[in-house]
A = this chain, B = another copy of it.
Amino acid sequence: MSGFERYNKILNLFSEQRNSLTVAEISQELKVPASTVYRIVREMVLAEFIESAAGSYFRLGQAFIKFNRIINLSDPLIQAGEPFLKKLANENPIPSTNILARLFGNKVMCVADFKHSTFKNNTSYQKGRLMPLLYGATSRAIIMQITEKRLNNILNLEGLNNDLQKEIFIKGLDQDKKKGFCKTEAQVDIGLIGFALSISNKKLGIEASLSSIFNISDFRPEHEPSIYANLSSYALLIERYINKIFIDTEAYHNNYLNKD
C-alpha cells in the first residue's frame, strides 16, 4: 500500500452504514499497525478530510462538502443537465423521478436527481449513491456506450462469467442500442419502471444517462410515446448544452493563456 491509495483505502472504509470508525477498526481492516494509522489519520484530520467524533471515533471531514460544491459548479454534466431535470419532471405524463447518472469505476453514480412533488415512492437513486452497473435502465443506457472489451471485464467482475448468461445480456443490450433507449421494470426497485437514454460527449469523456422513473401502478402503455419524446428531446438538449460548455471553456482557457 503506497501513495494516495493508502489514504483512499481509509476513506473508502466509511460508508452510509458505517459512517464512523476507530483507529483500532481501521488498523484491523487494513492490516496496518495502529501507530501507522494514527499518523495517517492525523494528517487527514489536519486537512479536514476526516474529523474526530465522540468516543475515539472518526468521521469523514468537512472538506468533502467544500469540494462537492466546486464540482457542482464545474462539472459539465451537472451544469448542463441539472437545470433540465425539473422541466422533464413537469412534462412527464405521470409522477416521476428524473436522474442524471454516470460511470464510476464499475458502478453507476447518480450525479443529479429531481423528484416531482407528486411522485410518492422513493427510488434507490440518490445523488452520490453508487448503484449496480448491470441492472436498471439508468445503468443500461450507460453501459451500452462502453467498448466491448471493457464491458467484458465488468461482466466478469460482476460475476457474470457464465458464457450463456453473458451472451443473453449482451444481446439484450444490442437490441436496446438499436432502439436507442432502455426500459426496465423492477430491476432495481420493486414497483418502479424506468426509461433511459444515453448522454455522451467524447471530447469530455462523458458516458452518462438521463432517465425517468415511474410507479408501475401509474404507468399505462399509452404514456410511452410522450415519455420517449420528453427524454429524447431533453437528452439532446443536454448534450448540446454540454458541448456549448465545452466550447466556452476552451475559449476561456485560450483567453486566459493569451493574457500572460
Contact = CB atoms under 8 A, between A and B. Distances in A.
B60 A74 contact: yes
Contact of A43 (B4, B16, B46, B48): B4
A89 B16 CA distance: 29
A57 to B, nearest CB: 7
Contact of A19 (B44, B57, B73, B126): B73
A218 to B, nearest CB: 27
Nearest to A204: B54
A100 B136 CA distance: 37
Copies of this chain assembled into the complex: 2
Contact of A74 (B19, B46, B69, B71): B19
Given A15-B70, A250-B55, A4 B49 contact: yes
Given A4-B43, A44-B4, A64 B62 contact: no
A153 to B, nearest CB: 16
A109 B63 CA distance: 10
Nearest to A76: B53
Interface in A216-260: 246, 249-250, 253
A66 B128 contact: yes
Interface residues of A, number: 58
Interface in A3-59: 3-5, 7-8, 11, 14-16, 19-20, 40, 43-44, 46-49, 51-55, 57, 59
A62 B19 contact: no
A175 to B, nearest CB: 30
Contacts of A124: none
Given A48-B104, A249-B54, A253-B55, A66 B7 contact: no
A130 interface: yes
A4 B44 CA distance: 7
8 contacts: A4-B49, A5-B46, A5-B47, A16-B69, A20-B249, A59-B75, A64-B71, A69-B127
